[in-house]
């Protein structure tokens, strides 16, 4: 009787240890799943940001940094800080009120004579910079 009791206790202990080990490993797995999902989402967001920045940079170079021309080319808003494009969460163009992401392009200076820069930054709603792109072009 005592032997039988001991054996049951032993089996229960083994099961408890197994459950504990399983709980620990599944916690690690779930954490890895969540992290991979977040990383993938972040990559996708950065890809789209790079696309938006690339378009703005191309326009900036074409317009020699003139905000008015850039705004005309991309149907962007002209502000004191340069041309600004607004995007919603799906990266479709939208208005400033509904914007989740903001792409801002402005002309800058370089140390080299006759060479100007056009700097583009993509920010989210919390004003965090997601992507930055600095280009240079020859001034007339």
- 54 within 8 A of 133, measured Cβ to Cβ: yes
Binding mask 116-135 for another protein (x = CB under 8 A): --------------------
Query: With CB under 8 A, what is the number of residues at the site for another protein?
Result: 35
Token code pair at residue 9: 């206790």
Binders in 9-68 for another protein, by CB under 8 A: 11-12, 15, 18-19, 22, 26, 29-30, 33-34, 36-37, 40-41, 43-44, 47-48, 51, 54-55, 58-59, 61-62
Residue 121: CB partners within 8 Å, gap ≥ 6?
A: 53, 103, 104, 129, 131, 132, 133
Burial bucket for residue 113 (CB in 10 Å: 0-12, 13-18, 19+): exposed
Q: How far is the CB of 84 from another protein (least distance, A)?
A: 16
Distance of alpha carbon 76 from alpha carbon 9, whole angstroms: 73
At closest approach, how far in Å is the CB of 108 from another protein?
18
Binding flag, residue 112, another protein (CB under 8 A): no
Question: What is the bridge-based pairing of β-strands 115-123 and 101-109?
Answer: antiparallel
Residues of this chain that interact with another protein (CB under 8 A) are 1, 4, 8, 11-12, 15, 18-19, 22, 26, 29-30, 33-34, 36-37, 40-41, 43-44, 47-48, 51, 54-55, 58-59, 61-62, 73-74, 90-93
């Amino acid at each position: 009787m005592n032997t039988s009791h001991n054996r049951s206790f032993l089996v229960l202990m083994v099961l408890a240890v197994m459950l504990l080990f399983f709980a620990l490993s599944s916690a690690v797995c779930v954490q890895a799943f969540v992290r991979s999902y977040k990383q993938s989402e972040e990559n996708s967001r950065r890809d789209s940001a790079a696309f938006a920045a690339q378009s703005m940079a191309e326009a900036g170079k074409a317009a020699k940094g003139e905000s008015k021309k850039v705004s005309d080319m991309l149907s962007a808003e002209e502000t004191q800080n340069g041309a600004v494009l607004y995007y919603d969460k799906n990266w479709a163009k939208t208005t400033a009120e509904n914007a989740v992401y903001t792409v801002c392009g402005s002309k800058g200076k370089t140390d080299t004579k006759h060479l100007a820069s056009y700097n583009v930054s993509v920010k989210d709603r919390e004003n965090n910079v997601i992507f930055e792109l600095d280009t240079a072009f020859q001034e007339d």
